[in-house]
Amino acid sequence: MAFPSLLDQLGPEISDPEEETFLLYSQDIPSQNLGFVDPQATTLDLSVAGKDYVIHQSPTILNRPGSTTGAVVWKITPLIADWLAASDNPLWTSGVLSSCSDVLELGCGISGLVGLVLAPLVAKYTLTDQSYVARLVEKNIDENSPLKNSKQTKTTSQTTSQKRKGKPSAVYPNKAELRFVPLDWELDEVTRSLTGSDKVKSFDLVIACDCIYNDALIQPLVQTCADVCRLRASDENGADKPAVCLVAQQLRDPEIFESWIKEFSRYFRTWRIPDSALTEGLRSNPGFVVHLGILRDAAETRN
């Protein structure tokens, strides 16, 4: 099995998604008022892993009809960014993450915060979401990026391969090591062009942070997670190192959670990150959980 030192730190694999739901919802889960940091503010001052960030967000876009939840920052996200930046995080100590890693985030929202924190530590970080977040996430990258005057200087263009017919692909500047690419789980196809490089064919880590809240999105989200991780199978450079998928979420509706973990477990062998491997900020919030998945072999995918 790949990453023995990672699996040693994770405890037992989840064999029964219903039992995992029962265990998680047996604890006292505090109300988090949905989980926004501050849905009224247009800017947030956040301090993560010893650095300060000024994040622009949009209460106006949040209140537009339609699904625009990514217009503001969600509470679990700064905590996950902080945990991912810690050198004793099991992803670093086990070698899943290294300075050579390529990371892709799904549903990043307007802040790009996890990317801002992690990009200086890895080779390349690709933020993705629906295109409505593009303007603000680009602004937040531009104004907060520690790479601004160093690595982050190339300005070639990169698009995702899109299934949408008759609709031109949106093009955003490629900031080299930290960039935003639109990727809609329901509309877009995952291809290796997402890496933004001819030389890189797959990702080491896929992150989804607070993206489980709507039953209709569970199947397309999990399928997208699986499709991104599957890029590794056709990458001869990563044959002995599977892609890892990390899903962080705030526990809300138990039925939504159970639908997600059942669907996720069909494609991924799944572990919950134990409290002992989390930072105090995450540990002290019983409603926040982080799961890690490694893609099952195609023949093993559950029906």
Ligand X SMILES: C[S@@+](CC[C@H](N)C(=O)[O-])C[C@H]1O[C@@H](n2cnc3c(N)ncnc32)[C@H](O)[C@@H]1O
The answer to whether the beta carbons of residues 140 and 111 sit under 8 Å apart is yes
Nearest approach in angstroms of CB 261 to ligand X is: 18
Nearest approach in angstroms of CB 130 to ligand X is: 5
**Residue of 73, 91, 96, 289 that binds ligand X (CB under 6 A):** 73
Instruction: Tell me: does residue 107 bind ligand X (CB under 6 A).
Output: yes
- Nearest CA to 140 among 101, 92, 179? 179
Nearest approach in angstroms of CB 300 to ligand X is: 27
| Residue sitting closest to ligand X (CB) | 70
Choose the binding region for ligand X from 40-48, 65-73, 161-169, 294-302 (rule: CB under 6 A): 65-73
Instruction: Tell me: does residue 185 bind ligand X (CB under 6 A).
Output: yes
Choose the binding region for ligand X from 127-135, 225-233, 283-291, 294-302 (rule: CB under 6 A): 127-135
Q: Which two tokens stand for residue 142?
A: 């531009």
Instruction: Tell me: does residue 250 bind ligand X (CB under 6 A).
Output: no
**Residue of 186, 215, 253, 280 that binds ligand X (CB under 6 A):** 186
Instruction: Tell me: does residue 211 bind ligand X (CB under 6 A).
Output: yes
Instruction: Tell me: does residue 74 bind ligand X (CB under 6 A).
Output: yes
Judge residue 44's burial from the number of C-beta atoms within 10 Å of its C-beta, 0-12 exposed, 13-18 middle, 19 or more buried: middle
DSSP sequence for 208-269: EES----HHHHHHHHHHHHHHHHGGGG-GGGTTS--EEEEEEE---HHHHHHHHHHHHHHEE
The answer to whether the beta carbons of residues 100 and 203 sit under 8 Å apart is no
Instruction: Tell me: does residue 69 bind ligand X (CB under 6 A).
Output: yes
Strands (E) located in the chain: 43-48, 51-56, 102-106, 124-129, 157-158, 172-173, 178-182, 205-209, 244-250, 268-272, 288-295
CA distance 117 to 125: 10
- Nearest CA to 207 among 228, 223, 179, 193? 228
Nearest approach in angstroms of CB 284 to ligand X is: 18
**Residue of 42, 67, 161, 234 that binds ligand X (CB under 6 A):** 67
Instruction: Tell me: does residue 209 bind ligand X (CB under 6 A).
Output: yes
Nearest approach in angstroms of CB 133 to ligand X is: 6
Contact residues: ligand X, CB under 6 A: 67, 69-70, 73-74, 77, 107-109, 111, 129-130, 133, 184-186, 209-211, 213, 217, 220
